[in-house]
Chain A
């Protein structure tokens, strides 16, 4: 895929494809990170919960990719998932960070699900493309559950044992510099807003902060300083070193055996 061209979409269709890919890439990469917990969850029940969430998110990505492929004239959703390199992935850095311990995974899930919740809510009220809207409405129900599940865990880990409290505080402190990208807007976002293809996410930042702050306070966790350095640029291809390793694992089979089929 030609990176330069896709970063400067000319038509409304190209712009729409970029928006779909940004949404999808966030969800595929975080879904993959969650899937790494399969068989390693702290409890059997939580193992299932994490796998369920992973499947939900990969499902969201798959639907978004399929729609993008339709508009973009690409063969199918696999084209985007398996045959692009790290520079072409448009996900934010937050979702590509290694899965860490359970506290880290849950803290990230909570931050991302809260962001998804407000983003999807606003997008549903805005978009006029029926297929896109239907997709968002369907996924929104699952996002609400992801938010509820991760939020309940934050309360229990934060206000749980001394160890769980320390681990969770450390997770939020490490993650915070990657939260800025969720609300960073670039030219592409601005153009998409003009075409009613995307919402001004900077507007829901305050609601996000309020939800996150009140949850962390209830969990006796300190809210990290929001004025600290924030990572930026992953949507343009400036990823952390971790994405390459993730893609190597995720894409290996499909690239080595392009004709492989489920039998």
Chain B
């Protein structure tokens, strides 16, 4: 399925991810139109990092992203609902480690 539904006169769509700080995972910010990767990066900078949001950017062509579909929601995600033991909350954390947080 093509995710880029724009007409041929429009620039391609790019998904924008920004890193809020050193060591933090990248977060999805939104999307921009741009003719190529360099301009996508600049447009992302001008659209999504004007208010100190991040220190690094990724841009990815939208049609390169493979997404799960709404029908996948049940089989993909529901099985995790009743498996609380997958969370690390049943271990006691030593005080020294807690302090370092």
A156–B33 touching, CB < 8 Å: no
A contact residues around B32 at 8 Å (CB) = 45
Q: For the complex, give the distance between the alpha carbons of A49 and B46 in Å.
A: 6
B35 CB to closest chain A CB, in angstroms?
7
A149 at the interface (CB under 8 A from B): yes
Task: Tell me the chain B residues, 15-33 only, with Cβ under 8 Å from chain A.
Answer: 32-33
Tell which of B32, B35, B43 has the most Cβ of chain A within 10 Å.
Answer: B43
Cβ–Cβ contact B33 & A152, under 8 A: no
Contact B42 A43 (CB under 8 A): no
Task: Check A43/B11 contact, CB under 8 A, given A148-B42, A152-B38, A156-B35.
Answer: yes
CB B41 to nearest CB in A, in angstroms, measures: 10
> Measured between C-beta atoms, what is the minimum distance from B64 to chain A in Å?
19
Q: Which residues of B contact A156 (CB under 8 A)?
A: 35-36, 39
Q: In the complex, which residues 44-92 of chain A have their Cβ closer than 8 Å to any Cβ of chain B?
A: 44-46, 48-49, 52
**Residue numbers in B under 8 Å from A45 (CB-CB):** 32-34, 43, 46-47
Give the complex CA separation of A148 and B34 in angstroms: 16
B101 at the interface (CB under 8 A from A): no
A152: min CB distance to chain B, Å: 6
The answer on a CB contact under 8 Å between A44 and B33 is yes
Give chain B residues whose Cβ lies under 8 Å from the Cβ of A52: 46, 50
Q: Is the interface of A mostly helix, strand, loop or mixed?
A: helix
Using A43-B33, A44-B33, A45-B34 as known contacts, say yes or no to A152 and B42 having CB atoms under 8 A apart.
yes
* A46, B44: Cα distance in complex, Å: 10
In whole Å, how far is B51's beta carbon from the nearest beta carbon of chain A? 11
> Whole-angstrom distance between the alpha carbons of A52 and B49 in the complex?
11
Q: For the complex, give the distance between the alpha carbons of A250 and B42 in Å.
A: 29
Residues on the B chain within 8 Å of A48, using CB = 43, 46-47
The closest CB in chain A to the CB of B14 belongs to A45
8 closest A-B pairs (Cβ-Cβ)? A45-B43, A49-B46, A48-B46, A45-B32, A52-B46, A149-B42, A48-B47, A152-B38
Question: Which A residues have a C-beta under 8 Å from some C-beta of B?
Answer: 43-46, 48-49, 52, 145, 148-149, 152, 156
A–B complex contacts, Cβ < 8 Å, 17 sampled: A44-B33, A45-B33, A45-B46, A45-B47, A46-B43, A48-B46, A48-B47, A49-B42, A49-B43, A49-B46, A52-B46, A52-B50, A145-B45, A152-B38, A152-B39, A152-B42, A156-B39
